[in-house]
Structures are given as structure tokens and as C-alpha cells.
Amino acid sequence: MSTQTVQMTDRPTLSEQAPVLLSRIAGYVAHRTVVIGLRAGLLRGIADSPGVSADELSDRLGLDPFYVSVWCRSAFAAGILARGGEGGYGFELEPHLDTLLLDIASPAYLGDVFLVCDAPEMFGRFEENLASGRRMWWDDTTPDWINGVAGAGTPFYTRLVPAGLAHVPGLAERLATGCRIVDTACGSGVGLVRLATTYPNCTVVGVDGDRHSVEVARERIRAAGVDDRVRLVCSPLEDMVLDEPAGLVVNNISMHECRDADLVTRNVAAALEPGGWFVISDFPFPDSDTGLRTPPGQVMCGIQFFEAQIDDQLVPRSTYDELLARRGFTNVGSVQLTPMHALTYGQVPPAGSGG
Ligand SMILES: C[S@@+](CC[C@H](N)C(=O)[O-])C[C@H]1O[C@@H](n2cnc3c(N)ncnc32)[C@H](O)[C@@H]1O
């Protein structure tokens, strides 16, 4: 943690603090309103029929009209809905909220982040186990959780492939020629499909330690019609041994979870061809008090409640610079894609470089 701290010299008055605290409750109300809207199809219903009234909406969705009117008012208050339709009695989504909340193909998609924050794995189990400190692993989570995490991870893959990877010098050319790509901690396979479809000359291997996730990934690659070029391995990354050298190994929002990140990085280096790249795509946890007090910092603090239960924490991005340097990677670099998404990359020394 850096020495930069939030100065408390200008002590706020009680009447200054009260509205700040109230805004936290307002955020909770807005969050619950969005979650209900996503789950019950209210947001989708309004996106499909801008200007729809609460009565029409309840009728279409088979929901109680009074409850729907209460939800619409709260969504309006939260800045999710605008007034619209005839005489302003109906509702439409505020600009871009269809993209942010409903379009899973968008790099800006956030809908599933709302849903995973509401899942018992995030805060409920943490509070239940606050005294015992009982830990869990992915096979203790529900299929709903794994599905929600896949949705929340999808925009990370969307930003990574191909635009994020294009930041890595020389990598786009290697991928166009064709090579093996390994997605370490591939989860339920969203990235495998994206890599296989974006780079048709490449073969792809997905490695993950959770059997259920691997089975979901198997079905996903079959449904996408890329199973002839994608192979799955169920294994801890700490035990990963691959038969054929890869030009690229990626890891999306999972490197912080490794039980032994040094050993995993050594296994990745061993899996790469000379000159091959390792690209770590992860949450850049704030390394200052100022960073913690930003909205991205606060959301990442929320994610830490789940990470704690699987016995890890998100880490500052610079941790990966040190990790890659320690394991002999060269040309280490990084790029911040959003306030909650950064890439760190490094290259196994090319043949004959003396590395
Ligand atoms: C947050 S999910 C991300 C999955 C996927 N990369 C995505 O973005 O949708 C983390 C995944 O990493 C896997 N994982 C974490 N640590 C692992 C390890 N040491 N070995 C193998 N898999 C691991 C978990 O099983 C889980 O599927």
C-alpha cells in the first residue's frame, strides 16, 4: 500500500457527513432496483417498448400493476428510467442504459456485475462465516454464480480480444499467422469461443481447475461450432503441463486467484514457444487510499468479499510486473483499458536472444 493517505485535517461537520451516508443507502436502493429490473425482465420490457406505461408493462409481463409502478418510480429516481410516451406517463431507459445493462456483447456491459453483487456468494456467505473464516472453492458455488461470473467476465474478454491484445507489440501478426493459444482459468468458456472465432488460424486450449465450469465450457464451444479447434483440460494451473508450445497464454480475471502465482507463471513460461507472450487481464486493485475512495475502488472492495472466501485478494497491477520479471519474462508492459481493467504482458525471450 502506498504512503498516499486521505487527509482528515478538514473534519466534516455532522450535517456534511449525513448526506454522504444517505447517498450510500440511495446506492443500495438503486442497486436492488436494477437487480429486480434485470431479473423480472422490466428493463428489457422498457428497452423493447420505449414510452410504455407501468400498467402496460405489468400487463405484458404478467406482474402486479401496483408493484410495477413502485419499481418504475424507483428506477426513475435512480436515474435508470426517463419519463416518456404519451403525455409523459410512460417510461424509457435513460441514454446508454440499454448498452450498459442489457447488451452483453458491448465492451461497456455491466448488467451481470449487478447480479453477482446480489448473489449469496458475495456478501451473505461472507457474513455467515465472519467468525469462522471458513473458506470455499469454486465447486462450493452454485451454477447461477458461475453463470453470473461468466457474464461479468464477458466484457473483459470483449475488450481483450482483439483490441486489448493488439496493444502487445508483434502479437497480432503472430495470431494472424496461426499458433496455439492457451486460456488459463478459462472458466465456462466465453473466452475460448471468442479466441477461436477471432483467430481462425489458431488452435485454442482452455485449462481450468473447476470441473463444472469445464463442462459448461465444453457445451459452449460445441454450440459455437468451434470444438474442432478448441481443447479443454481440467487441471489446477499449478500442475499444468501442455504438450505443444503456445504463441500466447492469456489469463482473464483469475491470476489473483492462483494458490501459487510464481509456480503458475513458471508453468506458463514452460508452455510458451520462444518469443511467446503471456497476457494477464485483471482488475487493477488500487494501491492508494485515494484510489480506494473512487467508485471503481469501492466496487473492487466489494469483489474482495468473494475473493476472501476463496482465500485470495485482487492485487495492484504492478504486482504482475514483478511476477513476470521474477520469472524471466522480457519486454514487460501494461495498458489500462478501463478503470477496472488492465493488461500486463511479457514475452519469453526469443530463441537466440541469450535470455
Ligand atoms: C473469475 S473466474 C474467471 C473465468 C474466466 N476466465 C472468465 O473470465 O469468465 C475464475 C476461474 O479461475 C479458475 N481458477 C482459479 N484459480 C485456479 C487455479 N489455480 N487453477 C485452475 N483454475 C483456477 C476457477 O475455477 C474459475 O473458473
Looking up residue 68, the CATH number of its domain turns out to be 1.10.10.10
* 303 occurs within a structural domain: no
What would the mean pLDDT of 81-106 be, rounded to a whole number? 96
What would the mean pLDDT of 205-213 be, rounded to a whole number? 98
The atom number, within ligand 1, closest to the CA of 188 reads: 9
How many domains does the chain contain in total? 2
Q: φ, ψ for residue 40 (rounded to 5)?
A: -85, -5
Q: How far is CA 64 from the centre of its chain?
A: 34
Residues 177, 76 within the same domain: no
Ligand 1 pocket test target in 109, 190, 195, 208 with most atoms within 8 Å of CB = 208
Helices 14-39 + 65-77 axis angle, to 10? 130
Task: Give yes or no for residue 149 CB within 6 A of ligand 1.
Answer: yes
pLDDT level of residue 1 (50, 70, 90 thresholds): very low
Q: What is the pLDDT of residue 88?
A: 87
User: Judging by beta carbons within 10 Å of its beta carbon (0-12, 13-18, 19+), is residue 334 exposed, middle or buried?
Assistant: middle
Which residue puts its alpha carbon closest to atom 4 of ligand 1?
187
Q: Judge whether residue 6 has pLDDT over 60.
A: no
Helices 143-159 + 190-198 axis angle, to 10? 30
* 198 occurs within a structural domain: yes
Which residue puts its alpha carbon closest to atom 10 of ligand 1?
254
* 143 occurs within a structural domain: no
Task: Give yes or no for residue 214 CB within 6 A of ligand 1.
Answer: no
pTM for this model (two decimals): 0.95
> Which of 69, 102, 135 is where one domain is finished?
102
Q: What is the pLDDT of residue 204?
A: 98
The atom number, within ligand 1, closest to the CA of 213 reads: 27
* 127 occurs within a structural domain: no
Distance 217 CA to ligand 1 centre (A): 12
Asked whether 294 and 286 are in contact (CB, 8 A), the reply is: yes
Which residue puts its alpha carbon closest to atom 8 of ligand 1?
153
Gap between the Cα atoms of 292 and 210, Å rounded: 31
Q: Judge whether residue 354 has pLDDT over 70.
A: no
Instruction: Please report, for the chain, how many H helices and E strands are present, in that order.
Output: 15, 9
Could you say which DSSP state residue 139 is in? G
What is the biggest distance separating any 2 CA atoms in the chain, rounded to whole angstroms?
74
Distance 349 CA to ligand 1 centre (A): 27
Residues 162, 250 within the same domain: yes
- The percentage of residues in the chain with a pLDDT greater than 70, rounded to a whole number, is 97
Which residue puts its alpha carbon closest to atom 5 of ligand 1?
187
Which residue puts its alpha carbon closest to atom 20 of ligand 1?
236
> Which of 87, 102, 117 is where one domain is finished?
102
* 122 occurs within a structural domain: no
Distance 188 CA to ligand 1 centre (A): 9
Residues 266, 179 within the same domain: yes
Q: What is the pLDDT of residue 310?
A: 98
Residues 76, 184 within the same domain: no
Residues 98, 164 within the same domain: no
Task: Give yes or no for residue 138 CB within 6 A of ligand 1.
Answer: yes
* 171 occurs within a structural domain: yes
* 318 occurs within a structural domain: yes
Q: How high is the mean pLDDT of the chain? A: 96
User: Which residues lie below 8 Å from residue 42, measured CB to CB, with a gap of 6+?
Assistant: 36, 57, 61, 63, 68, 71, 72, 75
Residues 162, 77 within the same domain: no
* Cα-Cα-Cα-Cα dihedral sign, residues 45, 50, 52, 56: negative
pLDDT level of residue 181 (50, 70, 90 thresholds): very high
Residues 342, 217 within the same domain: yes
Residues 50, 165 within the same domain: no
Residues 205, 340 within the same domain: yes
* 281 occurs within a structural domain: yes
Structural domain for 342, as ranges: 156-288+310-347
pLDDT in tens, 242-273: 999 999 999 999 999 999 999 999 999 999 99
Residues 284, 207 within the same domain: yes
Q: Centre a 10 Å sphere on the Cβ of residue 332 and count the other Cβ atoms it contains.
A: 16
Distance 130 CA to ligand 1 centre (A): 24
Distance 236 CA to ligand 1 centre (A): 9
Whose cell is 448473489? That residue is 119
Task: Give yes or no for residue 153 CB within 6 A of ligand 1.
Answer: yes
Gap between the Cα atoms of 101 and 51, Å rounded: 18
> Which of 102, 118, 141 is where one domain is finished?
102
Residues 175, 321 within the same domain: yes
Q: What is the CATH number of the domain that holds 219?
A: 3.40.50.150
Residues 221, 335 within the same domain: yes
Q: What is the pLDDT of residue 103?
A: 98
